Structure 1
Amino acid sequence: MSKIDKEAFTQAVYDIVRTIPHGRATSYGAIAKAVGYYNMSRLVGRVMSECNSSITNIPAHRVVNSQGILSGKDAFGDSSEMQELLEAEGVIVSNNKIKNWKTVFWNPLDEINI
């Protein structure tokens, strides 16, 4: 595996996350694929946990695991904040999982030209 440029990777992740539409969500893996690093979903998760959404306006609450589970909720100050932000956009969350995940899921490879 080639060494990645973490700064460029982080910027690419942020650029994609900023394009996720209101009321939709995507997965760490889908973002990793979109930036060309298919096996780097955990690194995407780490980047999301460090982005400080309230300052950067990066909608990290719209990025969840591949089953629609709010696995990154602890990165938010209040563990219910991620769910509250999604619900404010009309996304239904039950037991820390997005309902109708297949409908809510936004695939950057299908939606944007990179």
Structure 2
Amino acid sequence: MGRILDENLIYEVLSVVDEIPEGKVATYGQIARLIGREKNARLVGRVLSMAEFYGRYPCHRVVNHAGRLAPGWKEQRELLEAEDIPMKNTMYVNLKMCLWDE
């Protein structure tokens, strides 16, 4: 892993993700801001793409700034619907109703 992406950073991101309550979602940018890296939303996405190697985290509760689900991850919608997350349509959650107010 490069200089920017070390294990401390990975666990910092994952610890925030682990705090997202059931029935709520957070955005990549929101998590970046919470760890003090406001402009690193993509870095958060990169960390989440590797989360399975670090344990079990509710990564399905993280969406983009518009509420869009991760492309190509069909199970994300199923996991969110199982938590009664309100959806706008098949690819977007309703952020007004379910955004985590950390």
TM-score normalized with structure 2 length: 0.87
**What is the aligned-residue RMSD (CA, Å)?**
1.9
Q: Structure 1 stretch 37-46 or stretch 86-95: which is displaced more?
A: 86-95
Aligned to 1:39: 39
Relative to 1, partners in 2 of residues 1:28 and 1:10: Cα closer, same or farther, differing over 3 Å? Answer: same
Tell whether 2:27 aligns with 1:27.
yes
How far the C-alpha of 1:102 sits from its partner, in A, is 1.8
Structure 2 counterparts to residues 74-113 of structure 1, below 5 A: 74=72, 79-93=73-87, 94-99=89-94, 101-107=95-101, 111=102
How far the C-alpha of 1:57 sits from its partner, in A, is 1.8
Relative to 1, partners in 2 of residues 1:12 and 1:41: Cα closer, same or farther, differing over 3 Å? Answer: same
- Provide structure 2 residue ranges, at least 5 long, that are not aligned to the other structure: none
Percent of matched pairs sharing the same residue: 37
Structure 2 counterparts to residues 46-85 of structure 1, below 5 A: 46-52=46-52, 56-70=55-69, 72-74=70-72, 79-85=73-79
Aligned to 2:17: 17
- Provide structure 1 residue ranges, at least 5 long, that are not aligned to the other structure: none
Q: Tell me how many residue pairs correspond in the alignment.
A: 99
Residues 61 and 86 in structure 1, CA contact (< 8 A), matched pair in contact too? yes
